[in-house]
Each structure stands twice: as structure tokens, then as C-alpha cells.
Amino acid sequence: MGFYDFTLLDGKGNEVKTADFAGKVVMVVNTATGCGFTPHYAPIEALFEELHEKGLEILDIPCNQFGAQTPGSDDEVHEFCTLHYNTTFPQMHKSDVNGENELPLYTWLKEQKGFEGFGEGQQAEFMNAHLAKIDPDFQNNSDIKWNFTKFVIDREGNVVARFEPTADMDEVCAYVRELVG
């Protein structure tokens, strides 16, 4: 099983095959409309506008598993994103990224790149403290920890990076720019 073997549903219920992204750099990100990290939509959209023609794709997968911060329907999520962040990249159906109903794509992504920590700084300290209350063993599993975790897949379908939501978006964008070339 590899990246190009999955099928997702977009926000309108249409099938999206990851095989359609062969030869492209792909960022897969679980998103939320009411999260402290929601402003990540702005640099993600800017990156998409800058690099889409050079082979970057974004797979936006809204998820309501973290603090119930994506309560709306697929249409409501899409309306929020286009109204507030002018997003133009494809948005998938709101889905689970952890647990028994998680998307098979996320099962695979987490097998490829596990959790390596939140890094340093105030946001990282906050996330560590917050998650320790929810799951004292959170550092020892590959589950998605919060909204806006980003996986980057290279042009050959390999997961080459996992960025937690606390990662500096300038660093994330620089990494993707380098990969797209």
C-alpha cells in the first residue's frame, strides 16, 4: 500500500483518487475552522497559489476530533474558508484522522511518519501541557495530536515530512518550496 492507492471523498461527495497526484508534491493537512491554528490557512493558500502550477497539491481534510473546532457541514466549512481565507485548493469531506473511523490514508500516513514532538517555544509548551491532561502517553504514539498537522509527500509518493501545528509556517513553506523546486 502506498500514497497512490487511496480514494477520498471531496466536500461534495465526489471521489478523489490520490493516484491523480502522481508526480506532484502533496501536502495533506487536517484542518479546523475554529482553532487557534486556523490562520494557517493563509500561508497554505499563499503557498498553493505560488506553487500549484509547478506541481504542488493541497489536500485539506477538515476534522472535528480536536476540541470540536469544526462543527459545520462540508458546505459551511468551505464557505468559511473561502470567505475568510480565499482558499482555492480542494477541500475533502470532513473526516476522522484518529480512531476506529479514521481515514485509511491517515492510518498509512501515521505509519510512515510518527509524532516527533512539538518542538520548542510557548505554543509547544502549551500543547504538551494540554495533551498531557487528555492522554498522558501522547508522546508515545503516532496519532494526530491536533488540528493543522501537515504531511508532505514527494513526487514519488513518499512521506518525507510531518509538521505539527506548532511548526513555524515559514519553515514549512520553505521546505515545500525546496521540494517543489
Neighbours of 181 (CB within 10 A): 9
The residues that bridge with 29 in the sheet, in sequence order, are 60, 150
Residue tagged active-site, from 35, 63, 81, 173: 35
**170: Cβ–Cβ under 8 A, 6 or more apart, which residues?**
43
**149: Cβ–Cβ under 8 A, 6 or more apart, which residues?**
29, 30, 97, 162, 163, 164, 165
Residue 35 falls in the annotated catalytic set: yes
Instruction: Answer whether 45's CB lies under 8 Å from 85's CB.
Output: yes
Residues involved in catalysis? 35
